[in-house]
Amino acid sequence: MAVKGAPTWCYAKTPCSHPGISDLGSTRSGLAFNLSFRKWECCCLGVASAQRAITPVEDEKPNLTGAESSGAIQRIEDNESRAFHKDMNLLPKPLTANDLSSSSDGSKVRVAYQGLPGAYSEDAALKAYPKCETVPCDQFEAAFKAVELWLVDKAVLPIENSVGGSIHRNYDLLLRHRLHIVGEVQLQVNHCLLGLPDVTKEELKRVLSHPQALAQCEMTLSSLGIVRINADDSALAAQMVASTGLRNTGAVASARAAKIYGLDILAEKIQDDDDNITRFLILAREPIIPGTDRPYKTSVVFTLEEGPGVLFKALAVFALRGINLTKIESRPQRQRPLRVVDDSNEGSAK
């Protein structure tokens, strides 16, 4: 079942505290399991170098005798100790779970998302950090780079939809970029049919939106006999309708997009499945340290050698320790076919 060199994502839920993904919509929270040994090695080397630099060599030490010499040596040691601890305090420290809870409103936090203002990703960012400054990005990778280049503090990106499935592009970007999962937010998707002011839905001949949004509203749009046109983003579709001024053209987007671009909401909740939820990951440069007050969700990525039963043996490690796997995602390498296994409570697989 395993593919040689193919990365596999595992999501584990355990009563013990493990680094994991925090669930901002429930009682679970945590961080991504992604150790960076090289980084900490560099930090330790920096501390050691600082200690050596403040210690005078033999020729530089003053030639003192008696009590004066003893007092001078004591002062030098005190200075070394104070300087050493000062340098330690200057080292970057990982965020803790308390750090997240203390700024839960997201004040003074810059959060990147993919799309234009009014996109569902912006709604998710505002749900996670209500007072944050949202920063739109044209592509998913641009949001990753914005965090890495210190242009923003965090990024909120979709990873899975209950109807459309996994967003594989972001799984691949997680493997390419050295960012940490520090949170999770689940957003209830409410698709709205938007149009110009004083336009009725019967007047619409075509509608613009993201392909997934159009697919999720198949029954409603078919009943209206509307031609569907793909757009890169639902908020972009709303912006295009507002800018063109065509009365026979509508958009499928969020209620916030209608407010931002001055459109009327012709119909709400037009999605075929009412239980339409998108799960977003919150990414940051540094991991957080989970506490012991509640269970945490953990994300692990690993590769397996090709052979019979290797995936079974890897998953047995979790089962023998009473760790429940909520999802398994297998990504292909070199364009091999995609295989996804969902380990739910009922043990079903697909």
Catalytic residues: 278, 280
SS (H, E, C) the chain: CCCECCCEEEEEEECCCCCCCCCCCCCCCCCECCCCHHHHHHHHHHHHHHHHHCCCCHHHCCCCCHHHHHHHHHHHHHHHHHHHHHHHHHCCCCEEHHHHHHCCCCCCCEEEEECCCCCHHHHHHHHHCCCCEEEEECCHHHHHHHHHCCCCCEEEEEEEECCCEECHHHHHHHHHCCCEEEEEEEEECCCEEEECCCCCHHHCCEEEECHHHHHHCHHHHHHHCCEEEECCCHHHHHHHHHHHCCCCEEEEECHHHHHHHCCEEEEECCCCCCCCEEEEEEEECCCEECCCCCCEEEEEEECECCCCCHHHHHHHHHHCCCCEEEEEEECCCCCCCCCEECCCCCCCCC
Spatial separation of the C-alpha atoms in residues 238 and 285, rounded to whole Å: 33
Spatial separation of the C-alpha atoms in residues 169 and 52, rounded to whole Å: 47
Q: Which of 241, 277, 266 is nearest to 118 (CA)?
A: 241
